[in-house]
Structure 1
Amino acid sequence: MYGCHTRHRQQNKEVNADPAQNPRSPLRIDPASLHPHIYAMLKFTPILLAILYALAMYRFSVWRTGKELDAKSTELADPALKQLTDRLAASLDLARIPVYIYEIDPVNGLAAPDGRIFITRGFYRKFRNGEVTGEEMASVIAHELGHVALGHARRRMIDFSGQNALRTALIMVLGRFVPFVGVWIANMLTSVLASKLSRSDEYEADAYAAALLTKAGIGVGPQKSLFHKLDSLTEKRAGMAPAWLLSHPDTAQRIAALEQLESRWKTSD
């Protein structure tokens, strides 16, 4: 009787158990037995979701930035700077290059995703105070034009999506071997990659600006002299972060890259 009663209890357990978890149940689903395309979709769903999330966040960031720039900026009306921007425009076969003042204090220039060029009120104030020359301001505008012409805004959207997907994939893989620490490693690796890509964009924009300034008859000199002033203008504190985590190249390296360009152009002439 005991053995019979035991068998009944085992059978009842099998009947009452979740059919999907019962190895004898026809309802149990083995992921590997699914159609290869469906299995692949399920396997990579987290990565696809990460890409979609990154795209949505980037679009939202662009929209929010545009709204803020619209609310806090006006077109620059400075005759001295307009003469210089007109020279840049003529070199690009453009009627004019509108530049906008972004009403914030930090010293910076930026190119909006919609192609508009901005310099901050803090930067313009440095110009008005004589700390920055008109030609040096023109070099900032030329640099931001480089970001626009080279499509860096669109590239950053693609890079951001790719980095988010990479981060998710690394977390999935590393999390199996080093839980908790794997997330930190994945975030660190993607941060290093993002910084490297950003520095590459800055070098490209510097080279574009150097070529444009040379064509406009302004030359690369103001670009280099501004770099020499940059740390003091922005009150940058050296050593706050390792170089491989910085989004902009080291100032000395940027100057060296410009001098290499000048040397190459002189040799080709």
Structure 2
Amino acid sequence: MLKLAPILAAVLYGIAYYMFSAWRTRQQLDQRSAELADAQLTRVLEPMAEALEVPRIPVYLYEIEPVNGLAAPDGRIFLTRGFYNRFRQGDVSAEELASVVAHELGHVALGHSRRRMIDFSGQNAIRVASAMVLSRIIPGFGPAIANLLTGMLAARLSRQDEYEADAYAAALLTRAGIGTEPQKALFRKLEALTQGGTPAPAWFLSHPKTAERIAAIETLERRWQPQAR
């Protein structure tokens, strides 16, 4: 029983840390955001709302400069000021920005925020258990190897979430009559928009590679074509 105590403590820590992080994120979002009122974007989001059979899709503007979109644990969708500025400058179209909203809606609809609490707790337990075992086999290096392996697992789970949200967005955009071209076009721009540096190996990235994301969407399109005839 004593041997399981560190693992149980790691699980409880994971749950507590996730809940604290969610609370802190909600506080920051509440303090630094307001609902975005943009007529052009609203017009593009209207057919998406119709496809979802909801009155409207509220989007909030988060006052930070990095180019990003995010789904809060409470289900709200945010675009950063940096992303919105690129839209106002003409670097991103309204349809491309709508594809970001569709992607974040996918995270909400598929329960990724809630699942991350379970994932994080499990990863902490795996990290502690691995460190205990590896420290006996490779003294001095066990914790470092455990952290490396757990990081690879976390990146893989995160990439799977991104693929699922991409698929949801592709289906929603197609049903709304917008199509997937804006989604794929934005993927091609993302590295320049986010000023990405030298890419890390794919297994360390929390987001899949651009070419792989586009290929996954095109696979879906081919699968849907016979149904559209």
Q: Say whether 1:245 aligns with 2:204.
A: yes
Give the distance between the partners of 1:173 and 1:87, measured in 2 at CA: 54
Q: Which residue does 2:111 correspond to in 1? A: 151
Deviation of 1:193 after TM superposition, in Å, equals: 0.1
TM-score by length of 1: 0.83
Give the distance between the partners of 1:223 and 1:168, measured in 2 at CA: 40
Q: Which residue does 1:233 correspond to in 2? A: 193
| SS, match of residue 2 in structure 2 | helix
Displaced runs of 4+ in structure 1, greater than 2 A? none
Q: Which residue does 1:203 correspond to in 2? A: 163
Greater Rg over alpha carbons, structure: 1
Q: Which residue does 2:45 correspond to in 1? A: 85
CA deviations 1:179-224 (Å, max 9, x no partner) are: 1211111000000000000000000000000000000000001000
Give the distance between the partners of 1:233 and 1:172, measured in 2 at CA: 42
Give the distance between the partners of 1:162 and 1:62, measured in 2 at CA: 17
| SS, match of residue 119 in structure 1 | strand
Give the distance between the partners of 1:162 and 1:208, measured in 2 at CA: 26
Give the distance between the partners of 2:7 and 2:128, measured in 1 at CA: 6
- Identical pairs, percent: 65
Q: Partner amino acid for 1:54? A: G
Q: 1:254 aligns with which of 207, 213, 217?
A: 213
TM-score by length of 2: 0.98
Deviation of 1:268 after TM superposition, in Å, equals: 3.9
Q: Say whether 1:129 aligns with 2:70.
A: no
Taking only aligned residues, the RMSD between alpha carbons, in angstroms, comes to 0.8
For structure 2, the 5+ residue unaligned runs are none
Which one scores higher on RCO, CA 8 angstroms, separation ≥ 6?
Answer: 2
Report the number of matched residues: 228
